Structure 1
Amino acid sequence: MNTQTISPGLEGQRRDGVLYTPNRKKHASLSTPSFRFTNYEIEEDGAHRQAELFYLQKQIQSQTPMVIVLEDGEKLEGQIEWYDRGVLKIRGRAKTLIYKSAIKYMYKLGEAGQ
């Protein structure tokens, strides 16, 4: 089984619950993300949590091809197969587990200027 785990770099530092990496590039030309995960350690708002669960479940049921952009700028394409509070399982070229904390944003394939 080809399963990878992608996690935030160890060189980063946490400040107020947000991961800051020293060599992070700024992307001013990116459009507004279609979905962004919230940090539930900081914000325990049930409405945001329910919106996330609804969005993910809808994408799983319709098997929507997604693009997941990680904090370091890497883009992964695939369909969301499974999720829990801290991890997404993506089926693309390989099955990949991605920590939600490593995700910058995600959008449907073909939406944001592809």
Structure 2
Amino acid sequence: MVNRRMFRPGFPDVKEPSAPRPPHNGPVPSKKPAPPEVTHAENFYWVKQMQSHTPMAVVLEDGEVLRGTVEWYDRDCIKLTRQGSPNLLIFKRVIKYVYKDGEESAQGGDE
């Protein structure tokens, strides 16, 4: 029987010390900010407002102001509970901004 030898060289034969690379002097890439879904900042804010039953004012894109407390939220909408008026399910895409009710006078706003 004939001994057959492999044509591939062994690992120690291939591994040669490589020359050190010169340092890279190009622009340093900036770190991309994390997407909002990953930071959980929005979740923290809504949970805090729900637990403390903070009166909120929701300003819609058309300028309408809705007042009430946030009962629950999800990725696309919030449920605003109002006293003496029907509760509302508001899509987040139509919300211009949200603030705590009573803060507009403290900030000098005229709403």
* TM class, shorter-length: 0.5 to 0.7
Question: What is the aligned counterpart of 2:74 among 84, 109, 112?
Answer: 84
Q: Which runs of 5+ in 2 are unaligned?
A: 1-33, 106-110
Identical-pair percentage: 50
**Does 1:101 find its partner at 2:98?**
no
Query: Which consecutive aligned stretches of 4+ in structure 1 deviate over 4 angstroms post-superposition?
Result: none
Which deviations, in whole Å up to 9, do the C-alpha atoms of 1:7-37 show, x marking residues without a partner? xxxxxxxxxxxxxxxxxxxxxxxxxxxxxxx
Q: CA RMSD in A?
A: 1.4
Which structure ranks higher in relative contact order (CA pairs < 8 Å, sequence separation ≥ 6)?
1
The residue identity in structure 2 corresponding to 1:91 is T
Q: Which runs of 5+ in 1 are unaligned?
A: 1-42
| Matched positions, count | 70
Aligned counterpart, 1:63: 53
When normalised by structure 1's length, the TM-score is 0.58
Aligned counterpart, 2:31: none
Query: Which is higher, the Rg of structure 1 or of structure 2?
Result: 2
The residue identity in structure 2 corresponding to 1:84 is D
CA distance in structure 2 between the aligned counterparts of 1:112 and 1:52, rounded to whole angstroms? 21
- The alpha-carbon deviation at position 96 of structure 1 amounts to 0.2
Instruction: Identify, as 1 or 2, the structure richer in helix.
Output: 2
CA distance in structure 2 between the aligned counterparts of 1:55 and 1:94, rounded to whole angstroms? 24
Indicate the SS of the match to 1:89.
Answer: strand
Instruction: Identify, as 1 or 2, the structure richer in strand.
Output: 1
Indicate the SS of the match to 2:48.
Answer: helix
The residue identity in structure 2 corresponding to 1:76 is L
